[in-house]
């Protein structure tokens, strides 16, 4: 009888757990995309190259189709308009990603910054701020920057 009860509970928990995980994944996608969009807009000029690069990064990192990315981007833009600061996005990533995944986000951020081959002061400041909000060491943030720069050569 206990086995039957456990089986029923597992079946009930299964779909809810899957839905919860899907919601968490979507929140991580939105937070990541929002930070990348914020980075692209940091110098007050979001170029088509930066826009395309964000789409490519998000599709590769999260395995999104173009349509799925467009939806995530739309949600991210809406949240960016509603949020006062970056803390909420960074906190979602800080809690939901491992140190290695946070490093990947930082590499994505630097990649967006250098997509137009120019490092503006506002972009550099934003990268430092995001690294702090993610709880990353300064040396890890710089390592992500160097990795992106070396990949561009």
* Distance separating alpha carbons of residues 81 and 101, to the nearest angstrom: 25
Domains along the sequence of the chain with CATH = 29-152 (1.10.3680.10)
**Position 2 pLDDT exceeds 80:** no
pTM for the model stands at 0.85
The tokens of 84 are what?
A: 């006062």
* Distance separating alpha carbons of residues 103 and 25, to the nearest angstrom: 17
Better-scored residue on pLDDT, 121 or 44? 121
**Residue 12 — pLDDT band, cuts 50, 70, 90?**
very low
Q: What is the pLDDT of residues 50-89, one digit of tens each?
A: 999 999 999 999 999 999 999 999 999 999 999 888 999 9
Q: What is the pLDDT of residue 6?
A: 41
Helix (H) or strand (E) holding 3: helix 2-41
Helix (H) or strand (E) holding 111: helix 99-113
**Position 130 pLDDT exceeds 90:** yes
Closest CA to 76 of 122, 118, 117, 41: 41
């Amino acid at each position: 009888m206990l086995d039957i009860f456990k089986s029923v509970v597992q079946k009930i928990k299964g779909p809810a757990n899957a839905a919860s995980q899907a919601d968490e994944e979507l929140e991580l996608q939105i937070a990541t995309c929002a930070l990348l969009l914020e980075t692209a807009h940091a110098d007050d000029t979001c170029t088509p190259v930066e826009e395309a690069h964000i789409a490519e990064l998000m599709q590769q990192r999260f395995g999104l189709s173009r349509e799925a990315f467009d939806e995530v981007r739309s949600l991210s833009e809406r949240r960016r308009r509603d949020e006062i600061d970056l803390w909420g996005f960074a906190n979602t990533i800080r809690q939901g990603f491992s140190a290695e995944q946070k490093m990947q986000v930082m590499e994505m951020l630097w990649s967006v910054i250098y997509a137009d081959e120019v490092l503006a002061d506002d972009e550099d400041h934003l990268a430092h701020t995001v690294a702090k909000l993610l709880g990353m060491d300064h040396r890890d943030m710089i390592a992500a920057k160097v990795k992106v720069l070396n990949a561009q050569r």
